Amino acid sequence: MTGGRPPELRRKNRALVLRALVKHGDISRTGLAEAVGLTGTAITRITRELLDVGLIEEGDKANQGRFLGRPRTCLALASTGLYVIGLAMQAADRLLVLANLQGEILSSRQIPFEVVLDFTGKVDAVSNLVDELAAEAGISKKQIIGIGAAIAGAVDPMAGYVKTSPPLGWQDVPLVALLEDATGLPVAVDNVNNAICAAECQFGTYQGTRNLMLFSITQGAGASFVIDGEIVRGRSFAAGQIGHMPVTGASDLCSCGARGCLNTVVSGMAILADFEGTTYERLAARNADENTRRMLKMLERSLTGDVRAIRALHDAGERLGAILNVFTLAFQPEHVLLAGQIGRNPYFVKGVEDSVSRDTRLAGLCTDRVGMSIMGVDEAAVFLALSRFLLSEKLDLQTLKNLSRWRRDARSKTTAAENGAPDRWVTP
């Protein structure tokens, strides 16, 4: 059992139980007790609390593993009743989604580009979209426990600031304060690649991994590193911004003003320039949305056998592989993942794998070959919200108890109205 004073102990044990439900899915109380190392009495008390506030639900009965005899009732995170919002913003993705506590995305909206250009002045538009998502799902905004925002750029999650985001054109945006004031909901923010990496380690295929490197290739190149179970953020929260690393032999002018950055040789824009027979510098002068459209079209053409697109993607993958080899030797991760529209392309992945396989110094340093993250940026934003507002030891149970009472009252009034109760019993 986890140590600490009684209130702290209850919060820690509650978080342990919720995390176990994320990891195991449907599981009995007996299975939970074994999974988290708590007594049956403690599990009964904790799960009763969580059931009362609607965080978990009882499901089918089943025998589990070696537990024989009478079937036990399984528990799972609630699929209805409470929800989170995910906000994902990078060059090609501007999404707002509503999800349940099991991480299932129920509905979504596109964030208009004009909101991105003037987020501080038009943040109320995001609040209106949250209201739309709630109304579409037939729920009250009170049932949303928080917003997770996954943003491209250097993000200070503790201060709630986006320090700089070149893809969005942002500088020193107090995103958490803006969104909390506009929506009335608690907000957590993180860099989009860190959000994907954390979601993979906590919720995804790589649950429990303590040393992982993720390289995300979209219009630009970014990365995230988990070392000994912790995200590496750096002094200025810009760790993982690998797009502006200098590359020997590269000479194209980057958007940052320097020449020879990694972005100019492995990013989606660099690959598109190679495919179209132009330069990164000339491409960067074009409309960003038009570049995105052309990049996605190039990816489609590669999947239909376009030799020029395949070659451009494979060559860029090999160039990234050479950089990845350096990081692998330095950090010796358990797994290396590729993410993003470019990073998941099979010909780009093949280029990375070919480069890695040629470096004999890497033998035995990774438990598997280069893998792909299938975690979407919207899913990562959802899991950020779940991590901060559901699985945290700071979970506000009292607020959820008040909400549970409000929901019961609302259901009673609805039933009374349907049964023809006097108007004075029904909230207008």
CATH number for the domain including 63?
1.10.10.10
Same domain (yes/no): 292, 153: no
Question: So what's the pLDDT on residue 92?
Answer: 79
Same domain (yes/no): 271, 355: yes
Summarised one tens digit per residue, pLDDT across range 262-292 is: 999 999 999 999 999 999 989 888 888 888 8
The reply to whether 424 falls in a domain is no
Question: So what's the pLDDT on residue 23?
Answer: 83
Which of 58, 77, 96 is the last residue in one of the domains?
77
Residue in the block written with tokens 């002045």: 121
Q: Where in the sequence is the domain holding 69, given as residue range(s)?
A: 6-77
Q: What is the CATH number for 177? A: 3.30.420.40
Same domain (yes/no): 156, 63: no
The reply to whether 403 falls in a domain is no
Quick one: 295 exposed, middle or buried, by C-beta within 10 A (0-12, 13-18, 19+)? Answer: buried
Same domain (yes/no): 20, 72: yes
Question: So what's the pLDDT on residue 424?
Answer: 38
The reply to whether 419 falls in a domain is no
Same domain (yes/no): 184, 219: no
Same domain (yes/no): 108, 71: no
The reply to whether 415 falls in a domain is no
The reply to whether 121 falls in a domain is yes
Same domain (yes/no): 148, 243: no
DSSP 8-state secondary structure symbol assigned to residue 165: E
Which of 77, 92, 119 is the last residue in one of the domains?
77
Residues in the chain with pLDDT values less than 50: 1, 62-69, 367, 421-428
Same domain (yes/no): 148, 219: no
Question: So what's the pLDDT on residue 368?
Answer: 57
Same domain (yes/no): 232, 93: no
Question: So what's the pLDDT on residue 399?
Answer: 76
Amino acid at 342: I
How many domains does one find in the chain?
Answer: 3
- The H-assigned helical ranges of 258-345 are 263-266, 268-276, 280-284, 288-303, 307-331, 340-343
The reply to whether 407 falls in a domain is no
Same domain (yes/no): 298, 389: no
The reply to whether 385 falls in a domain is yes
Same domain (yes/no): 350, 229: yes
The Cα 11–Cα 45 span in angstroms is 12
338: β partners: 215, 372
Summarised one tens digit per residue, pLDDT across range 358-367 is: 876 765 555 4
Same domain (yes/no): 289, 328: yes
Which of 60, 77, 94 is the last residue in one of the domains?
77
